[in-house]
């Protein structure tokens, strides 16, 4: 007479459990095949919401594995993020309380401020509004009093406007970074040029930068200018590569 121990009876697979595990494995493989085409997924089709949830959860887990103690997540121009990216950011910051973050965005974009309400609900947030650079800020960027005075008088003193003038001076080779990292004019002509560029304003400064671009970078800039509105990277990427160059008249 054979006797079966309790251990052996407990280790025998329950057919119902096996079927349940098989279904889970099949669904997981199918889901992973969306992200990894080399996996031969099952026949289970994921709807848009399920796929979105999978990508969101996977992205948060990936970020969690990548960060270490003391890590800081820095996101600039957050107002350009699409809804899915905003949801991912809010979820990541809620699930990773030790991850510090610096988020820069325009406060007048309602979608961004609404999405960040979820972040405020889960952690302490310090708001810092950036306006015109104070005199101390200009002094930290520019080591020449004459150049600093021109930037103070001929720009609106926002970081963008000041940076555009300094960038133009650097491109033309009339200003260089000094030993302490602050910008210095090569001669008096550079100070006069800074005043001229500042008076021309940000719009023309941006146009000069755009005109220096060539190839694919120029095509992307032209396409975004043609759209004349906020858009996503997906829309820009959908532009056919063989469509040809975009002329100044939009053709």
> What tens digit of pLDDT does each residue of 41-78 get?
455 565 667 667 777 777 777 777 777 777 888 998 88
pTM (predicted TM-score): 0.49
Is 76 inside any structural domain? yes
> Burial code of 196-226, b = ≥16 C-beta within 10 A, e = fewer?
ebbebebeebeeeeeeeeeeeeebbbbbeee
Q: 75 and 39, same structural domain?
A: no
Among 56, 90, 122, the domain-final residue is: 122
Count of domains in the chain?
Answer: 3
pLDDT tens digits, 192-230: 999 999 888 766 767 777 777 888 788 888 888 777 777
The rounded distance, in Å, linking the Cα atoms of 154 and 2 is 98
pLDDT tens digits, 139-174: 999 999 999 999 999 998 988 889 989 999 999 999
Q: What domain range includes position 34?
A: 14-46
The rounded distance, in Å, linking the Cα atoms of 26 and 28 is 6
Q: 143 and 116, same structural domain?
A: no
* Percent of the chain residues past pLDDT 70, beyond the cut: 73
């Amino acid at each position: 007479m054979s006797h079966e121990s309790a251990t052996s009876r407990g280790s025998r697979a329950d057919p119902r459990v096996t079927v349940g595990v098989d279904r889970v494995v099949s669904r997981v493989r199918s889901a992973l095949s969306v992200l990894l085409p080399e996996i031969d997924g099952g026949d289970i089709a994921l709807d848009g919401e399920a796929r979105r949830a999978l990508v969101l959860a996977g992205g948060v887990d990936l970020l969690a594995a990548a960060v270490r103690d003391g890590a800081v997540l820095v996101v600039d121009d957050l107002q350009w993020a699409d809804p899915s990216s905003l949801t991912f950011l809010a979820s990541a910051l809620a699930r990773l309380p030790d991850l510090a973050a610096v988020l820069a965005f325009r406060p007048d974009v309602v979608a961004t401020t609404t999405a960040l309400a979820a972040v405020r609900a889960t952690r302490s947030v310090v708001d810092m509004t950036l306006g015109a650079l104070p005199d101390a800020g200009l002094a930290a960027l520019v080591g020449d009093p004459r150049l600093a005075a021109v930037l103070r008088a001929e720009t609106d003193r926002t970081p963008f406007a000041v940076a555009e003038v300094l960038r133009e001076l650097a491109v033309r080779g009339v200003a260089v970074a000094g030993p302490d990292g602050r910008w210095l004019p090569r001669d008096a002509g550079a100070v006069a040029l800074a005043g001229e560029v500042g008076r021309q304003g940000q719009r023309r400064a941006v146009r000069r930068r755009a005109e220096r671009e060539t190839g694919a970078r120029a095509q992307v800039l032209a396409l975004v200018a043609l759209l004349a509105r906020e858009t996503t990277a997906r829309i820009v990427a959908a532009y056919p590569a063989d469509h040809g160059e975009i002329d100044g008249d939009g053709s």
